[in-house]
Amino acid sequence: MSHAELQQVVVLGATGSVGTSTLDVLDRNREQYSVYALSAHRNVELLASQCQQFEPVFAAMSDPGAAAQLQQRLQRAGSRTSVLSGPDSLERIAVDSRVTSVMAAVVGYAGLAPVMAAATAGKRILLANKEAMVVAGELLVATARENGATILPVDSEHNAIFQCLPAGDSTSWRKEIVSLVLTASGGPFREWSAEQMERATVEQALAHPNWDMGQKISIDSATMMNKGLEIIEASHLFGVDEQEIEVVVHPQSVVHSMVRFADGSVIAQMGNADMRTPIAHALGWPERLASGVAPIDFTRIGSLQFEPPDEQRFPCLRLARLALGKGGSAPAILNAANEVAVENFLKRRIGFADIARINQSALAQIPLEQPASVEHLAQIDRRARNLAVELVDSASTSTEIT
Ligand code: NDP
Ligand code: MG
């Protein structure tokens, strides 16, 4: 492939766990891909070194102070990368006419605006940022469809399901499929009692047994809100109902998810627990790329376990199903409350079990609406955050955290 034919890729959230894995895959496939732009929030150090390595045309930082520092560093180093500043800069790089693919790997609601912009611009979106799909679901899918954008799932479970499903959308395979089966590792507290979880520390909650991930998703894995968000994500991505999505706890994280067919067949996707596989799959689809992931050694795995999820000990799973069933603004409210609760748990202001309590209260207290636009979603998000902050304040005065 000549230089002119290189696919131009934007990596939003380049300094994160998925972002750095994406750059690793891109680095192995330089004959096909060029890094057009990178984004980060505050991590000047890492973004500067990524700019040295990949020489993107643009580097965007949502934090203006960090952007100014990056600008100085790149100038001193004689870099030709142009620095863009502020939250809007992510949207600018996501819609650039030279860009073909956008890796959406910002964490949380903050990633929604650039994902919507990329969908409106008809880009190929590699979606890791599950919160964007949870919050904007129907609106995001409709925007992508209207503008010819393709959304390829990077979240390992959804990527696995995408690999197992027949081609086409749900209208073409609906009758052939009984359910989608999301696997869950169960997180660090899979075997803990509810009483033990009340006292769980930040360090214990961050210690995921199988995956090395960013802090927010690590806490979501410990509460199993991550699986809850993934149920909502799967429903929108694949056009299926809540009842058609099963969750099974599978502690080895070898089977990344499955599809159950009408004839009794189940197709599973397997691999080592390394995000470079789903990243490479989404990037290369429909072709396969080298990812650097070690081949799986079945003889060392020995056996695979499957257990039912426990919605009593992990109420966030139930809350997510509830929010999906209610529809409208419910998933956006749940997501906003959860982001606030997780942030405050990480700051040790509330206890681990308060996360689910705050999520439940926010969902119960805020009247539901039908989100009509991204601006409307922003209002819904803000309102839910404000309530969640109040709930954090009352929880933190009643909880003793050591
Ligand atoms: P990280 O916390 O490791 O990285 C987040 C990235 O987003 C960083 O580049 C960070 O920049 C940037 N960022 C953070 N806040 C903002 C903001 N307000 N505005 C703009 N950019 C921001 O997260 P992960 O890589 O773990 O996760 C990214 C997404 O992918 C999440 O939605 C997660 O659920 C999903 N995901 C992650 C998996 C994983 O294995 N990690 C697996 C499946 C899905 P900076 O470094 O400068 O702060
Ligand atoms: Mg996942």
* 182-227 pLDDT per residue, tens: 999 999 999 999 999 999 999 999 998 888 899 999 999 999 999 9
At 284, phi and psi to the nearest 5? -90, -20
What's the pLDDT at 5? 85
User: What HEC string does the chain produce?
Assistant: CCHHHCEEEEEECCCCHHHHHHHHHHHHCCCCEEEEEEEECCCHHHHHHHHHHHCCCEEEECCHHHHHHHHHHHHHCCCCCEEEECCHHHHHHHHCCCCCEEEECCCCHHHHHHHHHHHHCCCEEEECCHHHHHHHHHHHHHHHHHHCCEEEECCHHHHHHHHHCCCCCHHHHHHHEEEEEEEECCCCCCCCCHHHHHCCCHHHHHCCCCCCCCHHHHHHHHHCHHHHHHHHHHHHHHCCCHHHEEEEECCCCCEEEEEEECCCCEEEEECCCCCHHHHHHHHHCCCCCCCCCCCCCHHHHCCCCCECCCCCCCHHHHHHHHHHHHCCCHHHHHHHHHHHHHHHHHCCCCCHHHHHHHHHHHHHHCCCCCCCCHHHHHHHHHHHHHHHHHHHHHHHHHCCCC
Q: Which ligand is nearest to the CA of 129?
A: 1
Give, using CA atoms, the residue closest to atom 45 of ligand 1.
41
Averaged pLDDT for residues 242-262:
98
How many Å apart are CA 93 and CA 143, to the nearest integer? 18
Q: Whose CA is nearest to atom 36 of ligand 1?
A: 128
Tell me the percentage of the chain whose pLDDT exceeds 70: 98
Ligand 1 site-directed mutation target among 213, 231, 232, 339, most atoms within 8 Å of CB: 213
Q: Is the pLDDT of residue 1 over 60?
A: no
Distance 156 CA to ligand 2 centre (A): 5
- Confidence at residue 4, expressed as pLDDT on a 0 to 100 scale: 57
Atom number, ligand 1, closest to the C-alpha of residue 156: 43
Distance (angstroms) between ligand 2 centre and the Cα of 195 equals 26
The residue with tokens 């100085």 is 72
Look at residue 401 and tell me whether its pLDDT is greater than 60: no
Pocket of ligand 1 (CB under 6 A): 13-19, 40-43, 62, 105-107, 110, 128-131, 155-156, 211, 213-217, 275
Cα–ligand 2 centroid distance for 239 (angstroms): 18
The amino acid sitting at 74 is: L
Pocket test for ligand 1, best of 63, 106, 131, 156 (most atoms within 8 A of CB): 106
- pLDDT tens across 357-367, in order? 999 999 999 99
User: How far, in Å, CA of 297 to CA of 330, rounded?
Assistant: 42
Mean pLDDT of 227-232: 99
The alpha carbon of 278 and the centre of ligand 2 are apart by a number of angstroms equal to 10
- Model confidence over 293-322: pLDDT tens digits? 999 999 999 999 999 999 999 999 999 999
pLDDT score of 402 more than 50: no
Query: What's this model's pTM, rounded to 2 decimal places?
Result: 0.97
Q: Given CA atoms 358, 361, 365, 370 in this order, what sign does their dihedral have?
A: positive
pLDDT value at 12 more than 60: yes
Q: Using CA atoms, how far apart are residues 65 and 246, in angstroms rounded to an integer?
A: 45
Residue 170, pLDDT above cutoff 90: no
Cα 143 to ligand 1 centre (Å): 23
User: Beta-carbon neighbour count of residue 229 at 10 Å?
Assistant: 26
How do residues 266-276 score in pLDDT, each as one tens digit?
A: 999 999 999 99
Q: How many A from CA of 44 to the centre of ligand 2? A: 27
CB atoms within 5 A of ion ligand 2 belong to 155-157
Q: How far is the CA of 276 from the centre of ligand 1 (A)?
A: 15
Given this model, what pLDDT does residue 251 score?
A: 97
**pLDDT at residue 57 is higher than 90:** yes
Domain boundaries in the chain? 3-154, 162-398
Query: What confidence tier does 261 reach under pLDDT thresholds 50, 70, 90?
Result: very high
The number of the ligand 1 atom at minimal distance from the alpha carbon of 106 is 7
Going by CA atoms, what residue is nearest to atom 27 of ligand 1?
107
Q: Pick the ligand that lies closest to the CA of residue 90.
A: 1
| 2 pLDDT higher than 60 | no
Name the band, by pLDDT with cuts 50, 70 and 90, for residue 396.
confident
What kind of fold does domain 3-154 have according to CATH? Answer: Rossmann fold (3.40.50)
Q: Ligand 2 centroid vs 320 CA: distance in angstroms?
A: 15
* Closest-lying ligand 1 atom to the alpha carbon of residue 215: 2
Of the ligands numbered here, which is closest to the C-alpha atom of 220? Answer: 1
Tell the CATH topology of 162-398.
Rna Polymerase Sigma Factor; Chain: A (1.10.1740)
